[in-house]
A and B are shown apart, each in its own frame.
Chain A
Amino acid sequence: MTNSLALVLGILVFLLILGAPVVFAVAAAGLSYFFIEPSVAGMQSVVVHKFFTGMDVFIWLSIPLFVIAGEIMSATNMTERLVGFSHLIVGKFRGGMAYVNVLASMLFGGVSGSALADVAALGPVELALMRKEGYKDEFSAALTVSSAIQGPIIPPSIPLIMFSSLTNTSVAALFLAGAVPGVLLGLALMMVVFIMARIHNFPKNPIENITFAVVVKIVGDAFWSLLMPVIIMGGITSGIFTATEAAAIAVSYAMVIGIVAYRNLSMKTLWAILDRSARTTASIYLIVGFASVLTWVIANERVPDTLQTFVQNLNIPVWALLLMVNLFFLFNGLWISDSVQMVLFAPLFTPILAALGVSPVQFGVIMTMNVMIGLMTPPYGLALYLGSAISGVPLIKIIRESIPFLIASLIVLMLVTYIPALTLALPRFFGFIN
């Protein structure tokens, strides 16, 4: 590592720890290279060029569009309909409402690609229902936060879209690869609920006075929401449209459903949704744009090649390297956000692991799971903070209650890391990878 690069990375870490906006930290670190390194002195125009081209990527367009689709579905009371449907399916078991929480997040994951959207949209509904049935708020909040991280693993997924673009990996393959691990994560959480329901003697929560007409109504209510992931994944896997076009279709579908079928989407709501989506998009794009400058700096310093040679010379077995990478991401998850991790490390680690035989498709899912688990690990666990804000439960109580769910998530992460078939079977079946 040259002195210039060491200084650039030092500036980045120093500014991040100091609490600077990530955009500023990344941009300042990238820009400083052109003042420090003599061989590129005066080439500041590269900053603007890389910033521009970093954002000028077609697949990135799907991020705001999936955000809008998810927001519209939430605004049209889709969350209540999904919770109602989940209640019908799993409410009758002991700990029924806890199962409902997990299943609803799994279904919502097929519509929204964001864990925080899951906590914000589903959280209040789930917490109110669980409180009514006598569950402790800290348990409900912990489960809401833990189940929300399934969302971005089950397609569509914003982190997987980011990974796809940053590493030139097929987004369709990544979406398919995330499906099994996402469901597996949900099942693992349900297993924890199963055990806890017996220990704490949770109640059964079947829908009262259920008739065939009620069942038809609940299924009918949720039908349009449940159809959305089918359209998205069906369209992508059949080759009718690209992932970005799928996102645009999802927006149109959600709008039509909101206006025509559910009749509760107003122009005022839509205008507010567009504002939120534009802001979410801008915050991601800005980081990605300036991180492209940093990626250029890293490439100019030949870091990936050096790191690859270094790792190969170490002769570490792949399983140990994967373990180290997982621990590295989990540690970073304690203090930096999911999108920042993705932008900084996906382009760096993917070629190294690919050279050692780890498929980028599998690694994309592994990395996504890691950064999602980072959302529920303190001190920088955004999902935890959001869960605390919507439930009013102190953070420390949620953290304590979420430990069993965290352990279950880590077990699934290990399974996904060491059993490639869990991620690669579906994309292989649909012909997206060999």
Chain B
Amino acid sequence: MGRASLTEKHDMAKILRVVDVIEWSASALARLMLIFVALSLVLQVILRFGFSFSLPWPEEASRYLMIWLVMLTAPILIKRDELVRVDFLDAFWPRPLLIFRDLLFRFCMLGLFIIVAHEGWIQASFAARRLTAATQISWFWPYLAVPVGAVLIIIELLAITLREQLARQAKSTSLSQVTESAQ
């Protein structure tokens, strides 16, 4: 294997490590959001039932945080192939065609989420002028979850393709090594 190819492989691995760190951070943030949502809602019940007093923000903040949580977790679903599918017909597909189909879906999803990211950013920028009812923050922040999540999904879709490329390269390298040693 040439030096250029090795450097390329090394760079690809480095990019994938960065993607992994981004995903881990997004997942950790999503889990913390989930804890915050649960605690703020419990606090609301305690205050209302125990002290006849309600905070204005828990309901609204929880809704927005949950949207952020979903958009931060979506790339992980794609990475782990956990998106719900009608997959019982897969058994009837020839293997090469199945690989081609999945690749096609991935590129179509890439196109879809590029549109969502673009439109999401426009929507967030447009909404920035208004304030939310209870938390009095700019609508930009809740809406920002959509383009951010879409970009993370795009990164993940590209990373999957990169991972497959690396796996293919590793396979062909080990195959050529086996052939060489056999000769």
Contacts and interface: CB of A to CB of B under 8 A. Distances in A.
Given A20-B105, A47-B116, A277 B77 contact: no
A56 B59 contact: no
B84 A279 contact: no
Nearest to B73: A282
Contacts of A279: 73, 76-77, 80, 82
Q: Is the interface of A mostly helix, strand, loop or mixed?
A: helix
Give the residue among A22, A285, A339 with the most B Cβ atoms within 10 A: A285
Nearest to B139: A52
Nearest to B81: A21
B138 interface: no
B59 A58 contact: yes
Nearest to A60: B66
B101 interface: yes
Interface string B91-117: 001000000010001001100100110
B64 interface: yes
Interface stretch (A24-32, A135-143, A178-186, A366-374): A24-32
A289 B9 CA distance: 38
B25 to A, nearest CB: 13
Interface in A35-58: 44-45, 47-49, 51-52, 55-58
Interface stretch (A239-247, A311-319, A351-359): A239-247
A249 interface: yes
B63 A61 contact: yes
B34 A245 contact: no
Contacts of A49: 123
A395 to B, nearest CB: 11
A83 interface: no
B49 A240 contact: yes
A249 B42 contact: yes
Contacts of A19: 85-87, 89-90, 93, 101
A283 interface: yes
B141 to A, nearest CB: 12
Interface residues of B, number: 52
A292 to B, nearest CB: 12
A68 B122 CA distance: 35
Interface in B11-57: 27, 30-31, 34-35, 37-39, 41-42, 44-45, 49
Size bracket of the A interface:
35 or more
A283 to B, nearest CB: 6
Contact of A274 (B35, B86, B122): B35
B49 A22 contact: no
B147 to A, nearest CB: 8
Nearest to B27: A275
A340 B69 contact: no
B89 A28 contact: no
A52 B143 contact: yes
Contacts of A340: 84
B74 A282 contact: yes
B109 A244 contact: no
14 contacts: A20-B85, A27-B112, A44-B115, A56-B142, A57-B63, A245-B41, A245-B42, A249-B42, A279-B77, A279-B80, A281-B70, A285-B70, A287-B84, A337-B86
Given A19-B101, A285-B66, 5 more contacts: A19-B89, A20-B105, A20-B108, A244-B41, A289-B70
Interface of B: 27, 30-31, 34-35, 37-39, 41-42, 44-45, 49, 59, 62-64, 66-67, 69-70, 73-74, 76-77, 80, 82-90, 93, 101, 105, 108-109, 112, 115-116, 119-120, 122-123, 126, 142-143, 145-146
